[in-house]
């Protein structure tokens, strides 16, 4: 009878166990993503790092993802109309003012130090909105604005019919819009006149989503659709059917609706007609 030594049995077992453990260990780090299915919606403006453009992405989509005003993000990256971006292009999320603030400075020796301070060259990033009032300061500090819609955007309409099952919450990583329950295939309507700047499934946790640009300040977003009926670049009118309600990217049939003013989420109930 052949006798097996302990070492001849233990060594393969140890190697097998090590390989299994290494297979279970995923790569560390990684880029955070928006995942509303876990209840985490990036609300604060991200002002560090950069984003590498993927095929099919638009400037509006990237700005929406990171809480930027699309005009400010374009200016921050020296992009001009028609704001064309390309796969592999790196979009900086770091404001120019932050870069200047972190740039190392050298203090000249006392003997050669000038008697008066030289002019300091700075290139501040375009703010999402000029600070003119207390309400607009909230936008600049990344807090949701609660001011009423300007005259140019009166006439908002509800994007769908159904019970309101989730309200806007201003706290970070909570709901940045409202959720309306409904039936599969139920119509979803444009809440105001505008142009479709995004139609697709590029934002994790939003499912099939449409983003409409209404003017230089306002965007609206319609998420979790089962079918999209409009394409990017298409002009839409208030009340026009743009999608069908669904459960893409979530656990039940509903419409997640957001209004963003200068890149920051605002409470849609401050703009929509009273129920």
Tens digit of pLDDT for each residue in 71-106? Answer: 888 889 989 888 888 888 999 988 876 544 444 444
Among 59, 92, 125, identify where a domain stops.
Answer: 92
Q: Does residue 154 form part of some domain?
A: no
Question: How far apart are alpha carbons 230 and 268 in whole angstroms?
Answer: 22
Q: Does residue 16 form part of some domain?
A: no
Give yes or no: residues 84 and 173 share one domain.
Answer: no
Among 92, 119, 154, identify where a domain stops.
Answer: 92
Q: Does residue 23 form part of some domain?
A: no
Give yes or no: residues 171 and 266 share one domain.
Answer: yes
Q: Does residue 235 form part of some domain?
A: yes
pLDDT at 220 (0 to 100)? 97
Mean pLDDT for 55-67 is: 85
Mean pLDDT for 140-158 is: 56
pLDDT at 82 (0 to 100)? 80
Tell me whether strands 264-266 and 235-236 are parallel, antiparallel or unpaired. unpaired
Binned at pLDDT 50, 70 and 90, residue 67 comes out as confident
CA-wise closest residue to 86 among 67, 116, 62:
62
Give me the CATH number covering residue 56: 3.10.350.10
Mean pLDDT for 139-159 is: 57
pTM: 0.62
- Cα 234 to Cα 55, 175, 204: the distances in Å are 20, 28, 24
Q: Does residue 262 form part of some domain?
A: yes
| Number of domains forming the structure of the chain | 2
Q: Does 15 score more than 70 pLDDT?
A: no
CA-wise closest residue to 159 among 64, 238, 253:
238
Q: 202 lies in which domain range?
A: 164-270
Q: Does 218 score more than 50 pLDDT?
A: yes
Q: Does residue 232 form part of some domain?
A: yes
Give me the CATH number covering residue 229: 2.70.70.10
Tens digit of pLDDT for each residue in 219-247? Answer: 999 999 999 999 999 999 999 999 999 99
Q: Does residue 42 form part of some domain?
A: no
């Amino acid at each position: 009878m052949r006798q097996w030594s302990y070492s001849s049995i233990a060594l393969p077992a140890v190697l097998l166990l090590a390989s299994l453990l290494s297979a279970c260990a995923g790569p560390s780090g990684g880029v955070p993503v928006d995942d509303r299915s876990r209840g985490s919606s990036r609300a604060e403006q991200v002002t560090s790092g950069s984003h590498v453009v993927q095929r099919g992405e638009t400037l509006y989509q990237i700005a929406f993802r990171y809480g930027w005003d699309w005009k400010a993000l374009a200016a921050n990256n020296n992009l001009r109309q028609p704001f064309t971006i390309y796969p592999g292009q790196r979009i900086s999320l770091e404001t120019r003012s932050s870069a200047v603030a972190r740039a190392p400075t050298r203090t000249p020796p006392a003997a050669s130090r000038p008697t008066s301070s030289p002019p300091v060259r700075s290139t501040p990033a375009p703010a999402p909105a000029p600070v003119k009032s207390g309400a607009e300061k909230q936008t600049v500090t990344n807090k949701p604005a609660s001011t009423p819609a300007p005259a140019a955007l009166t006439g908002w309409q509800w994007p769908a019919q159904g019970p309101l099952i989730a309200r806007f919450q201003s706290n970070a990583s909570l709901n940045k819009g409202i959720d309306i329950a409904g039936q599969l295939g139920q119509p979803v309507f444009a809440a105001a006149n505008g142009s479709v700047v995004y139609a697709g499934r590029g934002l994790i946790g939003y499912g099939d989503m449409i983003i409409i640009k209404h003017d230089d300040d306002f965007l609206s977003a319609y998420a979790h659709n089962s079918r999209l009926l409009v394409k990017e670049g298409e002009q839409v009118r208030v009340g026009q059917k743009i999608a069908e309600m669904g459960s893409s990217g979530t656990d039940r049939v509903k419409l997640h609706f957001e209004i963003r003013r200068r890149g920051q989420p605002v409470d849609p109930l401050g703009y929509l007609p009273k129920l």
